[in-house]
Amino acid sequence: MRRFLVAGNWKMNTDRAGGTALATAVAAADPGPKTDVLVCPPFPYLIPVGEALQGSGVRLGAQDVWYEPSGAFTGEVSVAMLRDTGCSHVVLGHSERRHILGETDETICRKVQAAIAGHLTVILCVGELLEEREAGQTEAVLNRQLAGGLEGISEQDAADLVIAYEPVWAIGTGVTASPDQAETAHAHIRNWLADRYNAAFSDRIRILYGGSVKPDNAQTLMQQSNVDGALVGGASLKADSFLAIVDAARSLAAAE
Ligand code: PEP
């Protein structure tokens, strides 16, 4: 059975005091034995947030990384630096980086390769724009982003990989994919992984849903057989809503 993962993407939000208080509240959560919890604060708060999480099972992740190990890359942060702050995970290919900051599949793939080589667990985000969905291109977009982001990544490299399906039209909009829409996309991603790697591998990989996940829709989304957790933006910024989503995963896991 796949474990649930509930990950909070804080984006460019919080400050030192607020982020530390939020992490302290999340650290007090009891996700049960079959659910993993992760928070991804902005770079400057990784260390204080990591300190607030110490002794809890909640993991620390970053929202991005650069693929070179060191050198003249002003403004960038390396895999080793993230490891040094206590990160175990990194989110790559988030739609805001693809569509606001112009990241390509090729750049994302170099980041995926560097992160895996440096022993960070990658959460690779994929998802279509509204016009792509309306034009019937959802699966083609997912295929392109998966193939591009995982180019040259072997089954062994990808052992800990997590995929997040995040339809761009659902991110930060309050519009959520229906459970059916999410399940259809997740099943497509799982089939793609089975074709590219193999069925046993594909069956082990966690596929998170992201896009306006809230306490009132988390359970029905995560109830879908191919939805293994959530990547949560807005609702991860308040301890009570994030913890309610963690709790939804905990009860689903307990019922399995
Ligand atoms: C995200 O940041 O990945 C996200 C899904 O945001 P939101 O939950 O606010 O839609």
Given this model, what pLDDT does residue 58 score? 98
Residue 256 confidence class, pLDDT cut points 50, 70, 90? confident
Q: Under DSSP, is residue 238 helix (H, G, I), strand (E, B) or coil? A: coil
Confirm if 209 and 177 have CB atoms less than 8 A apart. yes
The whole-number average pLDDT for the span 143-168 is: 98
Ligand 1: residue of 12, 38, 171 to mutate (most ligand atoms within 8 A of CB) is 171
Please give the Cα distance from 203 to 206 (Å, whole number).
8
In ligand 1, the atom with minimum distance to the C-alpha of 164 is: 3
Please confirm, yes or no, whether 96 is among the known catalytic residues.
no
Q: Distance, CA 112 to ligand 1 centroid (Å)?
A: 20
- What are the contacts of 101-107 at 24+ separation with CB within 8 A? 104/148, 105/144, 105/145, 105/147, 105/148, 105/149, 105/151, 106/148, 107/67
**Residue 94: is its pLDDT beyond 80?**
yes
The whole-number average pLDDT for the span 143-155 is: 98
Please confirm, yes or no, whether 89 is among the known catalytic residues.
no
CB under 6 Å to ligand 1: residues? Answer: 9, 11, 166, 171-172, 210-213, 231-235
In ligand 1, the atom with minimum distance to the C-alpha of 210 is: 5
What DSSP letter does each residue of 24-47 carry, written as one string? HHHHT----TTEEEEEE--GGGHH
Strand 35-40 and strand 4-9: pairing? parallel
The whole-number average pLDDT for the span 90-99 is: 97
Question: Under CATH, which architecture does the 4-255 domain have?
Answer: Alpha-Beta Barrel (3.20)
**Residue 1: is its pLDDT beyond 80?**
no
The whole-number average pLDDT for the span 231-245 is: 98
* Digit-coded pLDDT (tens) for 3-34: 999 999 999 999 999 999 999 999 998 999 99
Tell me the pTM: 0.98
Strand 121-126 and strand 229-232: pairing? unpaired
Q: Distance, CA 186 to ligand 1 centroid (Å)?
A: 17
**Residue of 89, 94, 186, 188 marked catalytic:** 94
Nearest residue by C-alpha to atom 8 in ligand 1: 233
Given this model, what pLDDT does residue 29 score? 87
**Residue of 96, 103, 132, 166 marked catalytic:** 166
The whole-number average pLDDT for the span 155-165 is: 97
Q: For residue 123, what is the enclosing H or E element?
A: strand 121-126
* Digit-coded pLDDT (tens) for 38-86: 999 999 999 999 999 999 999 999 999 999 999 999 999 999 999 999 9
The whole-number average pLDDT for the span 218-238 is: 98
